[in-house]
Structure 1
C-alpha cells in the first residue's frame, strides 16, 4: 500500500515532534521542515498529499509559503491546514482566502488534528481519483474523435477507386446489359457512401464549431417536394397522405418559399425530420408540412399523429437518442438540430396524446 505523505512545517522542533507523535500511523509518511524555503524544496521533490503549516516563522511566514504553493500549477491543489497560536478571526479569514483548506489553533487537541487530517487526506485522494477519471475521459474522447476522423478520410480513398474503376469498365468494355447495370449499381452505391462520408465530415465540423457556413437563397419548397417524392412509396405502404401547406393553404405548382441557408444542409435536415415523422405516424394518417413567416423568420412545421415516447422526450435532440426503431442510429434529430443551428436557426418540438407531434424549424428568410 502506498503511504500518504504529510509535510509538517514549523520553526519549533518541539511542535513538529508533538504532531509527529499524534499522526503516528503506518499509512502515513511524515516529512518535516523548520522554515519556508526548506518546505518549498520538499514539496517540489516529494509532492506531499497534505501540508500542516505554521504561520509565524522567521524569514518566510506561513502566509507567504501558502501563497507560493497556490501560485504554482504543480502544487496549488495540495491541501494546506494552518496550525498556529493565532486565533483572531481575521487571521483565519486571511488564511482561508489564501487557499488554505482548514485552520487549527494551538494548544493542539490530538483528536481534532487526527480527524481533520484524515478528512482532508480522504478528500485529496477523492480529488486525485476524479482528476484521473476526467483525464481518461478527455483522452478517450480525443482518441475517439481522431479515430472517427481518420476512418472517414481513409474510407474515401478506396471508394474513389471503386467509383473510378466502375466508370472506366463501363466505358472501355462492351458488356451485356445486365452486367452494365451491375456496374452502374456499384457506381451509384459508391457515390451514395461517399456522400454519406462527406456529410459525416460536415457533421463533425459542426460539432467542433469549424464548419464554414456559406448561406444562399434556397427555395425550401423545392427541397420538400423532392423529399415527398422520395418517401411516396413508403407513405403509400402505410396509407399516409402528405399535405404541404403554405400560409395554411395547399401549395400550387408555381409557389416558392425562399430561406437563407445551404441546400446541402436544408435537404438532409428536413429529410431526416420528415422521414422520422413518416415512420412515427400511425397507418391511414396525415403527415402535414406547414410553411409560414414570422417577421424575418421562416417557420417550417412538420406534424404527425404519433407521440414521442416519454423516456426520450428530455433528450429528443440528443446524440444517439432512439426508441423502438430497429437499426436506428439516433443521429436523425441530433443532426437536424446541428444543421438548423449552423444555419443560424433553431428547432423545437411539442408532443401529446391529444395533438400528436410537431417539430418546428426556424430559419431566416432570404434577404438577398
Structure 2
C-alpha cells in the first residue's frame, strides 16, 4: 500500500501537510512512517499541544493527528484551543488514544473532533480516517449557545453510522498460522476454521507478505524454528513495518528455554506456547485474546458511531435553523405591521409585544448558532438592506424594561437627530442587528446595579454610532479580552458568547465594535459602528 486515491484517481497524500503531535518520539516516528507510506510528503511534528499550537499559528496545515494524553497541553486541550481560534477552526483534528472514557470521548465530540483512532490501529484505519478528514466540513462545537450533544449520540438515540471509506461488511476475525510443517498447519487450521478466518503460511517470507498486506490478520500464531527466516526474524521485521507492527503474536514452538521465551516477549509476543500443544488450552488462549481484539474493534466502531451521530445532529440542526428563519422573520414582520395599527386595544398591543419578544429571542438563538457558525467558517454572505436602527433600539429597550423590572433600571433611548429630521438607517441585516443589540443591552442590564441607569444613544454620523452605557465597570482582568470567545467573569450561567457573537455579527456587516471603561465615572460604554444607508 503506497497511496490512497480519490475517486478521480488523484493521490490524496501528495501535497497534504500534516502535523503529528505526540510526546513519545517512537510514536511520532511510527505515525510519520505510516503517513509516508500513504504518500503524505509534508509532515511536521510536535511534542505536545502547546508546541503544536505555536506551529499552527505560524504556517498552514491540512490536518492534525494528535495523541490524547500529553504533558503541558493534552490533545483535547489542543482541540479546544483550535476550535476557539477563528484562524484554526477549519482544520480537521484526528485524536489518537489507547484508553478513553466514554464521557471524555463525548467531550471531544462536543469540542468538534473530526475522528477518533483507538490504539493499536492499522495504516488502513489511519488511511480511511485521514481521507475522510480531508473531506470534512467543520461543525459548530456543542458549547453553550450552540446546543448540546445528546448523552448517547444522535437524534433520539443511537444512530448507525455510514461505513468509513474502505470499510466492508463486518467479517470474522483472522488468524495467520505460520509453520513450515504441513501437518502442523492442518492441525491448527482445523482447530480454528469454524470460528475464525484462517490463513496459512508455510514460510517466514509468506508470513511477512500476508502480515503486511492491506488487510492484515488480527493475530499471528508463529512457529520459531523455520528455515531461512525463523520466527524471531519474522517478528522483528513485522515490528519494523507500519502495517504489521501492532499485530499481536503468539509464538508456538518446541523451544522451552527461558532465553527463548524472553527473546520472544522482547519482540512483542503476547504469549509463548510450547509444543506439543494442548488443543483445548490453545483454543481457550486464542479465543480469550481474540475477545479482547474484538472489544477494541467494537470500541473503535462505537467512537465512529458517536462522531457520525454528532455530524448527523449538526446537519439536522443546520437544516432546521435554515428552514425556520424565513417563517420567523415573516411572522415578526406581520406582528410589527399589526403593532402600527392605531385601532388596537391596550391588551392586544401587550400580547403582540410579548409575541414579538418571543419571536425575536428565537431569531437571536438562530443567529447565534447558525449565522455565527457561518461567519466563523468563512461562509457567511451579507445581503444588506436599510435597517431602522432607532425603532429597533426602542423595541429592545421596551422589552428589557419588562425583563429587568425587578432591578428598577432606567433604560433610555436618545438620538442626536434634529427635530423633524428623518431618523438615519444602517445598512446591514435586520435580524443580525437585533441579535447584536439584544445581546449588548441584555449584558449591560445584567451588569448595571439595581436602580441605576442604562443609556442608549444613536449618533447621527457616518458610519452610524450606537452607544450603550451602563453604570459599573468591566473587571480589569477581562477588559482586553471582552469580545473574545467564552470570556466571562462573575456571571452565573454566563456562556461568554454574548459579546463575542455581537463582535462577529457587527464585523460581518462591515462594522466595528469598541469598549470604553471609565473607572473615574464608574461607567462602561460599548460603541457599535455600522455602515450608514444613503437613500
Over alpha carbons, which structure has the higher Rg? 1
Which residue number in structure 1 is paired with residue 313 of structure 2? 151
> CA shift at 1:348, angstroms?
0.9
Tell me how far apart the structure 2 counterparts of residues 190 and 259 of structure 1 sit (CA, whole Å): 22
The question of whether the paired residues in 1 share the 8 Å contact of 2:367 and 2:431 is answered with no
1:112-123 mapped onto 2 (5 Å cutoff): none
> CA shift at 1:254, angstroms?
8.1
Which residue number in structure 2 is paired with residue 229 of structure 1? 398
Which residue number in structure 2 is paired with residue 213 of structure 1? 382
Matched, 1:344 2:510: yes
Matched, 1:238 2:407: yes
Which residue number in structure 2 is paired with residue 74 of structure 1? 41
Give secondary structure in 1 for the equivalent of 2:486: coil
Query: Structure 1's 208 and 322: CA in aligned 2 closer, same or farther, altered over 3 A?
Result: same
Tell me how far apart the structure 2 counterparts of residues 191 and 297 of structure 1 sit (CA, whole Å): 25
Which residue number in structure 1 is paired with residue 519 of structure 2? 353
The question of whether the paired residues in 1 share the 8 Å contact of 2:140 and 2:314 is answered with no
The question of whether the paired residues in 2 share the 8 Å contact of 1:152 and 1:201 is answered with no
Could you say what the CA RMSD is over the residues aligned between the two structures, in angstroms? Answer: 4.2
The question of whether the paired residues in 2 share the 8 Å contact of 1:240 and 1:283 is answered with yes
The question of whether the paired residues in 2 share the 8 Å contact of 1:340 and 1:346 is answered with yes
Which residue number in structure 2 is paired with residue 271 of structure 1? 438
Matched, 1:362 2:362: no
> CA shift at 1:292, angstroms?
1.2
Tell me how far apart the structure 1 counterparts of residues 481 and 534 of structure 2 sit (CA, whole Å): 34
Tell me how far apart the structure 1 counterparts of residues 489 and 459 of structure 2 sit (CA, whole Å): 31
1:85-124 mapped onto 2 (5 Å cutoff): none
Query: Structure 1's 269 and 75: CA in aligned 2 closer, same or farther, altered over 3 A?
Result: closer
The question of whether the paired residues in 1 share the 8 Å contact of 2:516 and 2:525 is answered with yes
The question of whether the paired residues in 1 share the 8 Å contact of 2:415 and 2:460 is answered with no
> CA shift at 1:220, angstroms?
0.2
What CA deviation, in whole Å up to 9, does each residue of 1:106-125 have, x standing for no partner?
xxxxxxxxxxxxxxxxxx77
The question of whether the paired residues in 1 share the 8 Å contact of 2:112 and 2:141 is answered with no
Which residue number in structure 1 is paired with residue 478 of structure 2? 312
Query: Structure 1's 285 and 208: CA in aligned 2 closer, same or farther, altered over 3 A?
Result: same
> CA shift at 1:360, angstroms?
0.4
Query: Structure 1's 74 and 362: CA in aligned 2 closer, same or farther, altered over 3 A?
Result: same
Give secondary structure in 2 for the equivalent of 1:313: helix
Matched, 1:302 2:468: yes
Aligned residues: 231
Q: Structure 1, unaligned stretches of length 5 or more?
A: 1-26, 29-45, 48-71, 78-123, 164-184
Hey, which of these two has a bigger chunk of helix by percent? Answer: 1
Give secondary structure in 2 for the equivalent of 1:314: helix
TM-score, normalised relative to structure 1 = 0.52
The question of whether the paired residues in 1 share the 8 Å contact of 2:457 and 2:468 is answered with yes
Give secondary structure in 2 for the equivalent of 1:231: helix
TM-score, normalised relative to structure 2 = 0.37
Tell me how far apart the structure 1 counterparts of residues 468 and 504 of structure 2 sit (CA, whole Å): 17
Query: Structure 1's 281 and 213: CA in aligned 2 closer, same or farther, altered over 3 A?
Result: same
1:20-169 mapped onto 2 (5 Å cutoff): 74=41, 126=47, 130=52, 132-133=65-66, 137=79, 138-139=92-93, 141-143=112-114, 145=139, 148=142, 150-155=312-317
Q: Structure 2, unaligned stretches of length 5 or more?
A: 1-24, 27-31, 34-38, 53-63, 69-74, 80-91, 94-110, 115-137, 143-310, 328-353
> CA shift at 1:236, angstroms?
3.2
What CA deviation, in whole Å up to 9, does each residue of 1:160-195 have, x standing for no partner?
8xx9xxxxxxxxxxxxxxxxxxxxx9xx98996587
The partner residue of 1:334 within 487, 491, 500 is 500
The question of whether the paired residues in 1 share the 8 Å contact of 2:397 and 2:413 is answered with no
> CA shift at 1:293, angstroms?
3.4
What CA deviation, in whole Å up to 9, does each residue of 1:197-256 have, x standing for no partner?
464111100111111101111110010011011111244322211222212x7x979862
